[in-house]
Amino acid sequence: MVNFRTDLALERRDLYKKANNIAEEVEGLATEQETAGEDINITRVKVLNEAGEQAIGKKKGNYITIDIKNLKIATEPEIQKASEAVTKELKTLINNLVGPQDPVLVVGLGNLYVTPDALGPKVIQDIDITRHILEYMPDVLDKETTRSVCAVSPGVLGTTGIETLEILKGIVDNIHPKLVIIIDALASRSIERISSTVQLADTGIIPGAGVGNQRKELTIETLGIPVIAIGVPTVVEAATIAADSLDLFIKKIQDEAHSNDFLNQLQEEDKYEMIKEVLQPADYNFIVTPKEIDELIENMSSVVARGINFATQQ
């Protein structure tokens, strides 16, 4: 299997196609594209069956990628427009899974004190919570039209000592939501996608680089209710940057007719593993994030929180 180094189904599909020289659609996948105005591209990758699962290493289900251009310098109306794209896609996923009044638990994964990992907890701050109002002040809200929404930031294993699944399982069993929406930071191949892309998936997630423990996934299998994952790329591995640059670099050399057999070979091989091996001894393969990450994460938090708020209410 290809070592994808990305959590985005869309990037995995593209890598698989390139690695296997596939011109059309990958077997077991169905993809459609759409634009929402000038700055927003939406790609829907559907994993149809086991063939699709094996090709890109993602569970059967829907993966929607929303790419937002120039989010870093976005104005208030542009942020609002991006959040509307999230609302629309998220609403469709929610309505396929639960009824309009079914209670939802929103979960912000990550560590507030590590900038590229802070998106989940930041989004949680801006979620419109209704569960306690419906319970303690039922006259304030319209029970017919208001969905019960609650939210938690469970922290990360390194600072709590508790697996996220252990915390969420306990809460879900106690308060009985019908759907979990999880926000998490992802790894991507592309620096351009850092905090500028949202992936929605109706298949749940496996958190963190983690302990490689398959039982700790956050899915309908482990939590007992459907799980929608909202992922935002915030990190790219140093080795990925190097390998991707090398690709571009070799291409340019070839274009300039420096071509030789060895270079042609290089492009076919998996340079990433070789580069990673080279960097490893020096503990050089830091996960890297762009300098502008603080600003980008603020804007993306607004986009995602608004998207959830409008999607969960009528």
Residues 197-256 that bind a second copy (CB under 8 A): 198, 211, 230, 232, 234-243, 245-254
Q: Quick check: 178 binds a second copy (CB under 8 A)?
A: no
Instruction: Kindly identify the residues of this chain, within the stretch 34-63, that bind a second copy according to CB under 8 A.
Output: none
Q: Quick check: 3 binds a second copy (CB under 8 A)?
A: yes
Q: Which of 23, 77, 139, 161 binds a second copy (CB under 8 A)?
A: 161
Which C-beta is closer to a second copy: that of 22 or that of 162? 162
Could you count the other beta carbons within 10 Å of the beta carbon of residue 165? 19
Q: Quick check: 159 binds a second copy (CB under 8 A)?
A: yes
Cβ–Cβ < 8 Å for 52, 27: yes
- Binding residues with a second copy: total (CB under 8 A): 154
Q: Which of 43, 44, 82, 199 binds a second copy (CB under 8 A)?
A: 82
Which residues fall within 8 angstroms of residue 304, CB to CB, at 6 or more apart?
A: 83, 86, 119, 123, 183, 198, 230, 232
Instruction: Kindly identify the residues of this chain, within the stretch 125-154, that bind a second copy according to CB under 8 A.
Output: 125-133, 136, 145-154
- Taking the complex as a whole, the smallest distance from the CB of residue 180 to a second copy amounts, in Å, to 12
Amino acid (one-letter) located at 3: N
Task: Report the candidate in 298, 289, 302 with the shortest Cα–Cα distance to residue 194.
Answer: 289
| DSSP codes, 81-139 | HHHHHHHHHHHHHHHHHS-TT--EEEEE-S-TTSGGG-HHHHHHHTS---HHHHHH-TT
Which C-beta is closer to a second copy: that of 48 or that of 274? 274
Which C-beta is closer to a second copy: that of 150 or that of 206? 150
